[in-house]
Amino acid sequence: MARDPLELLQKRALMISRRQSDTEGASRTIMVVEFLLTPEQYAVDTSFVTEVLPLRNLTLIPGTPPYVIGIMNVRGKIISIVNLKSFFNLVQKGLSSQNRVIVLRHKEMEFGIVTDGISATRRIDTETLSKPPASRQDPGSDYIRGITAEGLILLNAEALLSSKAIVVNQK
Amino acid sequence: MKSSIRISSRLKLLAGFILILVSIIAIQVINFIGIGKIKRSQNDLINAFQTSQSMLSLRNEENRIRALTLEMILTHDQEERDAHVMDIRRRIGVVEETITNIEKNIANNPENLEKFSEIKELLKTFRANRERQLIMINQGKKDEALDFALTVQNPFYESIQSKMGDMDRILENNTKEVLARNDALNARIAASLGILGSLIIVISLLFIIWTFRLLHNLSREVKAGVNILGTSAAEILTTVNEVSTGATETATAVSETTTTIEEIRQTALLATQRAQMVLDSSRKASEAADNGKESVQQTIEGMDRINQQMNLIAESVVKLSEQNRSIGEITASVNDIADQSNLLAVNAAIEAAKAGEQGRGFAVVAQEIRSLAEQSKQATSQVKEILTEIQKAVNLAVMATEQGSKAVDHGNKLARQSGEMIDILAESVNDAVQSVIQISTSSQQQMAGMDQIVPAMENIKQASEQNVVGTRQTQNAAQTLNELGQNLKKIILKYNV
């Protein structure tokens, strides 16, 4: 901790410049936002992400499917909040102010997904992704683009945003 | 009972003897009086007899004188006449003497005296007549004288003779009376003497019977007593033997006691010394108790100060806890800010990605901000951990201060109890000091007493030795007593009283 701040900054600058050169070399990589749906790490392509928010001022709406938790006012814009754990039939956990919302947008479609936390933004080589298991028959597998070597599940944001289930219910 | 009997017996014996003595004296007195009376009676008798004799002689002499006178008348011989005259004169003298005697003898009988004086008067006249007759004779007038004798003198003489005869009879009667009186007197004296004698005999008999009975009883009791005496003497002998043994044992015991007393004296001396030591120790203990009391007081004060400090610590800890909480809140805010910064950084990165090549630099900045936010979060979590540790420590400190406070209270209580205990101890020590002083005094008195006992034991020893000697004498005496008892028994058997 007691290290010279100047030295620290120089090291960091070096590291950052090197990483820049790496990404420049590979055009197959995409930028993703990595998040947590306990206990798994998921990721989503940043090109579909509008912004990330803390879960605040959630308004519960009665008569909606169970995976639609409610609505949120984001700077005057009303956004539906979807619980992916419910949608993917995963083990559920109570919500708190620690939950983060990732606002996704494709064409006219826009909604937020609840996460247990935003880990980082990073680049992923799409060539290294492996497919989800073929035997998987449940509808969730359609929304997964692939899984990295570290076990990071890359969601198909486009499929989610154009999903009939969510859209039909939305409209 | 026995003593009363003895006293009464003595009195009875004395009374009996006195009674007998008195009776004898009475007999003597009666005898004496009787003898006197008899003597007087005999005198009277002699008197009466003499009077009768005198009267007889008087009559004889007068008769003779008359005869002589008559003879003178009848005779002629002058010589014969002269001889007769001479004889008459002599006889007249005898008559005079006899008259005097008779008067003397009947002096205490006035009746006789009167009668005799009549006779005397008659005799006087008769004698005067005779003198005349004698003169006649001398003148020779014999016939005239004879006639005178026959006519005057003879009837006169007859009258005198008759009077004298009367007198004689009276005297005889008198004599008879005296004799009768004498006999009566004799009989009376004899009777009284007889009665008294019988009385004495009866009294003596009673006395003898009583004395005999007394003696019998006495002997019986003495016999019983002698038996008891014999038994007692034997017992005394046994007892004396035992006493002799006891006296010897006493002498031994006295020697042992003397030794023991010397030991006790030594012990008492030791006790006195020990008491002195205990006294010194007690004084030291008393001083220590005073010091202890001061220490306890100081301890209590120190405890109070500790308590105050503890309270200050507790307050400080509470403040620290509050401040810790404030820090926690601040840390939470910082954490929140870091979260938001992180989100912002993510958003910035997303925006940078959307900007493409132009946004690359911004992406770096966003990455940098994210990294700082991450570091801030880590720092806050570290701070949180530290705060948790601090809170735990604070809680421990609170508990420790509470326990400390309790401990201080307990210590205070203990200190007060110690103070009280020390007070009690001090009192006990004072009591002990008093007791020790008393023990010391007692020991000294004991020693003094022992010093007095030693000569006393010496005296007892001597007395015991004398006792032994005396016991031997007593033994001999008891032996003698035993023999005496046996002898007495023999005597009683022998006399068989």
The answer to whether position A99 is within a domain reads yes
pLDDT tens-digit map of B314-335: 898 889 889 988 988 998 999 8
CB atoms inside a 10 Å sphere around CB B253 = 14
Distance between CA atoms of residues B353 and A47, nearest Å: 8
Name residue, tokens 């601090």.
B390
* CATH at A52: 2.40.50.180
pLDDT tens-digit map of B416-472: 888 888 888 888 888 888 888 888 888 888 888 888 888 888 888 888 788 778 888
Closest C-alpha to A55, from A92, A119, A87, A103:
A103
Cβ-proximal residues to B364 (8 Å cutoff; 6+ apart), any chain: A16, A20
Q: Would you call A113 helix, strand, or coil by DSSP?
A: strand
Q: Order across the sheet with A58-60: list the strands.
A: A49-54, A100-106, A109-115, A77-82, A68-74, A58-60
CB atoms inside a 10 Å sphere around CB B293 = 16
Chain B residues with CB under 8 Å of A20 CB are 360, 364
Across all residues in chain A, what is the average pLDDT? 81
Q: For B230-239, give one letter per residue: b (16+ CB within 10 A) or e.
A: bebbeebbeb
Considering A1-5, A45-49, A167-171, the range whose residues carry the highest mean pLDDT is A45-49
Minimal Cβ distance to B350: which of A20, A49, A100? A49
Chain B residues with CB under 8 Å of A2 CB are none
Which of A24-33, A111-120, B94-103 comes out lowest in average pLDDT? A24-33
Q: H-type helices in B106-152, by residue range?
A: 110-139, 142-148
Best mutation target among B346, B357, B364, B365 (most A Cβ atoms within 10 Å) is B346
Residue of B nearest to A98 (CA): B339
pLDDT the model gives residue B1: 41
**CB contact A22 to B (< 8 Å):** no
Per the structure, the count of domains in chain A is 1
The answer to whether position A6 is within a domain reads no
**CB contact A90 to B (< 8 Å):** no
Distance between CA atoms of residues B340 and B332, nearest Å: 12
Distance between CA atoms of residues A43 and B480, nearest Å: 151
Q: Would you call A145 helix, strand, or coil by DSSP?
A: strand
Chain A residues with CB under 8 Å of B355 CB are none
The helix-helix angle for B154-355 and B360-495 (nearest 10°) equals 170
Q: Would you call A58 helix, strand, or coil by DSSP?
A: strand
The answer to whether position A120 is within a domain reads yes
Chain A residues with CB under 8 Å of B343 CB are 52-54, 100, 118
- Inform me whether the pLDDT recorded for A22 exceeds 70: no
pLDDT tens-digit map of B185-224: 888 888 888 888 888 888 888 888 888 888 888 778 877 8
Minimal Cβ distance to B343: which of A12, A46, A100? A100
Name residue, tokens 């403040």.
B319
Query: Which residues constitute the domain of residue A126?
Result: 27-170
Across all residues in chain B, what is the average pLDDT? 83
Look up residue B9 and give its two tokens.
């017996």
Closest C-alpha to A58, from A8, A94, A106:
A94
pLDDT tens-digit map of A98-128: 889 999 988 888 899 999 988 888 888 888 8
The answer to whether position A2 is within a domain reads no
Burial of B385 (0-12, 13-18, 19+ CB in 10 A): exposed
**CB contact A120 to B (< 8 Å):** yes
Distances (CA, A) of B10 to B14, B206, B365: 6, 16, 166
* Cα-based torsion angle of the residue sequence B317, B322, B327, B329 in order, rounded to the nearest 10 degrees: 150
Cβ-proximal residues to A14 (8 Å cutoff; 6+ apart), any chain: none
- Inform me whether the pLDDT recorded for A21 exceeds 60: no
Best mutation target among A104, A121, A123, A124 (most B Cβ atoms within 10 Å) is A121
**CB contact A54 to B (< 8 Å):** yes
Best mutation target among A8, A52, A100 (most B Cβ atoms within 10 Å) is A52
Chain A residues with CB under 8 Å of B364 CB are 16, 20
Percentage of residues in chain B having pLDDT higher than 90: 2
The answer to whether position A1 is within a domain reads no
pLDDT the model gives residue A170: 46
Mean pLDDT for the stretch of residues B6-26: 80
Distance between CA atoms of residues B402 and B396, nearest Å: 10
Distance between CA atoms of residues B334 and B329, nearest Å: 9
Contact B353 A121 (CB under 8 A): yes
* C-alpha B201: how far from chain center: 47
Distances (CA, A) of B32 to A126, B17, B25: 203, 22, 10
pLDDT band at B307 (very low <50, low <70, confident <90, very high): confident
> What distance in Å separates residue B376's CA from the closest CA in chain A?
12
pLDDT the model gives residue B258: 83
Contact B371 A12 (CB under 8 A): yes
pLDDT tens-digit map of B43-80: 878 887 888 888 888 888 888 888 888 887 777 777 88
- Inform me whether the pLDDT recorded for B2 exceeds 60: no
pLDDT the model gives residue A102: 93
pLDDT the model gives residue A171: 40
For B389-415, give the secondary structure using H, E and C. HHHHHHHHHHHHHHHHHHHHHHHHHHH
Chain A residues with CB under 8 Å of B353 CB are 31, 46-47, 121
Distance between CA atoms of residues A52 and A113, nearest Å: 10
Cβ-proximal residues to A54 (8 Å cutoff; 6+ apart), any chain: A97, A99, A100, A101, B339, B340, B343
Mean pLDDT for the stretch of residues A62-82: 88
Mean pLDDT for the stretch of residues B125-152: 80
**CB contact A20 to B (< 8 Å):** yes
> What distance in Å separates residue A134's CA from the closest CA in chain B?
32
- Inform me whether the pLDDT recorded for B293 exceeds 80: yes
